[in-house]
A and B are shown apart, each in its own frame.
Chain A
Amino acid sequence: MENLLAIAVGMILVNNIVLTRFLGLCSFFGVSRRIRDALGMGIAVTFVMTCSAAITWFVYEYLLVPAGIQYMRIVVFILVIASFVQMVEVIVRKKAPSLYRAMGIYLPLITTNCAILGVVLINTEVERYSFVASTVSGFSAGIGYALAILLMAGIKERLEIAEIPESFRESPIGFIIAALLAMVFMGFGGMV
């Protein structure tokens, strides 16, 4: 139990997927214009990350390890994630049209989000977590991503009305903020 808590805190704060491991940066900068959009993206990523962490654990432990072909993991995981996202999209579109519209473009975008692949690889290859730990780790990594992108969106909304020197507008100031946020999250280092 304690171990799971440590994994969760570690994934959300200490080893935040975006601000400490620098994964999933493209969507972190791209979809953080408004808090509402950022929240949608955060929820979608959390959902896909949790589920793909669970599925890939089975694929890794029961297919790749017995066959001794762990080096195929990246290709196989991408296949699993892409198919899973596709399945979710088809089902959500039929069963919950309003949710489908709310998620919009973000769902397919997640397919190529390196944060998902990164978490899945950490779970299996690096840490060799158990099934439960793997799922918890996936879920908390998703929460960490949502936290990071929400922080970013909140700051970016303030920036809209701030007076920024011409040459720093849009992306450059975004990078500076991301760097500052990353330094803040370094403060959590050594907690777990």
Chain B
Amino acid sequence: MIEALILGGLGFSFGVVLVYLARKFEVKVDERLEKIVELLPGKNCGTCGFANCEEMASASLKDPTYLERCRVLEPDNRRKIEEILGVSLQDISKKIAIVACTFQTENKFKYVGVQTCAAAVLVSSGFKKCKYACLGLGDCVRVCPFDAISISEGEVKIDKNKCVGCGLCVQTCPKNVINLVNAGAYVFVSCSSRDDAKTVVGVCKNGCIGCGLCAKACPVGAIKIENNLAIIDYSICTGCGKCAEVCPRKVIFKLRTS
């Protein structure tokens, strides 16, 4: 009897104190917060600059323009959040990540150290003959929150359908060999080498030598040669694909036809 009384009494008094504290120290939570968090991707990739999606949601309650930073948000969910917040936001163009390398260079030595790109790049700036080449040890694979990147036989492949363009791999890659391009891009220069033609030919079967044939062939002048590398201005490119046809090194790829 006495044990039941003591236990019950203790439980009751703790309960009363807890209720009192909960009232006194109540934290008001905006009910819209939970809805927004549900609509956000929930991958906590951090490319918006906030630690996770919840932080982002609470910030967007104060200033909805923060939502524009989320590159992962589905258009449908985006519209729903706009409705909840009663605002309309600028559209942002979807981007995808592509590896600007054709993996045609050879190893200059056998690397047996820690198997990450970040570690490998410290040894003689990588073990590939081309110093701009992808090392293929998969730092990008590990950092991708969307499982969009895979490696087969040393070649990094990014799944266009899974990639949302968050850009984490771009930040992570120590070789800066991954580029973010508009999802609507027609052609892509699959090389990052800024070496001169002689060096590139010596180390790679494909690599861009900066010959400028593509720039001459382009009817709208969208291609420039900068530092021995062809750069495509996607705001001008019409997607005719002439550059891909004339390229003697076969390093310009058609992503899709116009």
Whole-angstrom distance from the CB of A54 to the nearest CB of chain B?
Answer: 16
Instruction: Tell me the bound Cα distance from A121 to B114 in angstroms.
Output: 47
Interface string of B17-48 (1 = CB under 8 A from A): 11001100111000000000000000000000
Within 8 A of A (CB), among B104-161: 114, 116
Instruction: Tell me the bound Cα distance from A87 to B16 in angstroms.
Output: 11
Partner of A87, one of B7, B17, B26, B114: B17
Q: Are A59 and B10 in contact (CB under 8 A)?
A: yes
Interface string of A88-124 (1 = CB under 8 A from B): 0011011101000000000000000000000000000
Q: Are B10 and A79 in contact (CB under 8 A)?
A: yes
Instruction: Tell me the bound Cα distance from A69 to B114 in angstroms.
Output: 60
Partner of B10, one of A80, A87, A97: A80
Query: A-side binding surface: helix, strand, loop or mixed?
Result: helix
Partner of A90, one of B3, B11, B14, B21: B21
> Contacts of A64 on B, CB cut-off 8 Å?
6
Within 8 A of A (CB), among B167-187: none
Instruction: Tell me the bound Cα distance from A174 to B21 in angstroms.
Output: 40
Instruction: Tell me the bound Cα distance from A34 to B48 in angstroms.
Output: 24
Q: Are A72 and B6 in contact (CB under 8 A)?
A: yes
Q: Are B6 and A79 in contact (CB under 8 A)?
A: no
Q: Are A67 and B3 in contact (CB under 8 A)?
A: yes
A75 within 8 Å of B (CB atoms): yes
> Contacts of B114 on A, CB cut-off 8 Å?
161
> Contacts of A130 on B, CB cut-off 8 Å?
none
> Contacts of A97 on B, CB cut-off 8 Å?
27
> Contacts of B18 on A, CB cut-off 8 Å?
83, 86-87, 90
Can you list 8 A-B pairs, Cβ within 8 angstroms, ordered by A? A67-B2, A76-B7, A80-B14, A86-B18, A90-B21, A91-B21, A94-B25, A95-B25
Chain B: residues with CB nearer than 8 A to chain A? 2-3, 6-7, 10-11, 14, 17-18, 21-22, 25-27, 114, 116
Would you list the 7 A-B pairs with minimal beta carbon distance, nearest first?
A94-B25, A83-B14, A69-B3, A90-B21, A72-B3, A90-B25, A67-B2
